[in-house]
Amino acid sequence: MKRIAILLFCGLFLLLNASFMPPNLWTDLLDKNLSKWENYESYRHQLGYKGQVPVDASGKPIAPIGYNKNEANVFSVVMQNGEPVLRISGEIYGCVFTKQDFENYDLKLKVKWGTKKWVPRLTEPWDSGILYNSQGPAGVDYWHSWMLSQEFQVSAHENGNSMGDYWCIANSQADVRIDYSPKKDSLKFNPKGEIITTGNGKNFIQASGNYESPHGEWTELELISFGGKSLHIVNGHVVMALSNSSYHDGNQRKPLTHGKIQLQSEAAEVFYKDIKIRNIKAIPAKYVSYFE
């Protein structure tokens, strides 16, 4: 009888405590079958290609490879230590993108560079990117490879590039605090700086600092997106804060606050793992000051 009472007490204790345990709100986005993703491939890059649609011998535009073809196995999953790792070879410009549309979320993932590069990045830094609030068809950007979106640049720290830089993709825009520099493409995020609106020639903003792990090691990235505001976080360091996420439609500025997530294939081999996401109800309190 005493044993039964003890068992009942233990069971009741566990039940009561379970009700106070915070639920696991994270959703894994990566599995060995890439079941939560689709893909798009543009064109095989050639030297001299400057953002124009390639044409055949008769001058007729060549169609892109398109959706869910995965030519050359650009996108694949390898198992390492029992966990899925997404390999993007970079051989053909394009992306994998989530089937689901997301709004107001915290995204975490880890990234590591491979060893291969392709034209036109043979002498350029390794490059990829997280494109968020992605809407509409793929192929509307300069390289005819991606959707309208905002970019959390994933780039090796070389030639002025860093993890967490910001790029406008297609006609996206945002407000950001920056420091000016006389050098070309050298606007740099400064949380105390002057507010500008990107676009109209101000399409690239450098991250505030370099916090990438050594080459060949995993770097943890976090993207927080809420109500048109976003934070780019590299190994725990905020390197970019954007607000009023939008795009210009003629003379109108329209909100760009939700959408799919794209991971770029951009002529460099890259690996991603531990891709997970959760909904949030506000910008975390410790980051609110970036938007005041």
Ordered per-residue pLDDT tens for the chain, 292 residues = 445 444 445 454 444 443 343 445 999 999 999 999 999 999 998 887 888 898 889 999 999 999 999 999 999 999 999 999 999 999 999 999 999 999 999 999 999 999 999 999 999 999 999 999 999 999 999 999 999 999 999 999 988 889 999 999 999 999 999 998 766 668 999 999 999 999 988 999 999 999 999 999 999 999 999 999 999 999 999 999 999 999 999 889 999 999 999 999 999 999 999 999 999 999 999 999 999 9
Whether 43 contacts 63, CB under 8 Å? no
> Tell me: the pLDDT tens digits for 30-83?
999 999 999 999 999 888 788 889 888 999 999 999 999 999 999 999 999 999
**Domain spans in the chain, listed from the N-terminal domain onward:** 26-291
* Three-class SS of 104-164: CEEEEEEEEEEEEECCCCCCCCCEEEEEEEEECCCCCCCCCCCCEEEEEEEECCCCCCCCC
SS3 percent helix, strand, coil of the chain, rounded to 5, is 10, 45, 45
Pick the CATH number of 26-291 from 1.20.140.10, 2.50.20.10, 3.90.640.10, 2.60.120.560: 2.60.120.560
Question: How many Cβ atoms sit within 10 Å of the Cβ of residue 199?
Answer: 16
Question: Which amino acid is residue 143, in one-letter code?
Answer: W
Q: What is the DSSP letter of 246?
A: E
Please give the model's pTM, rounded to 2 decimal places. 0.90
Angle of CA points 128, 153, 91, to nearest 5°: 10
Question: Which amino acid is residue 121, in one-letter code?
Answer: R
C-alpha distances out from residue 218 to 85, 127, 128, 132, 211, Å = 12, 15, 14, 21, 12
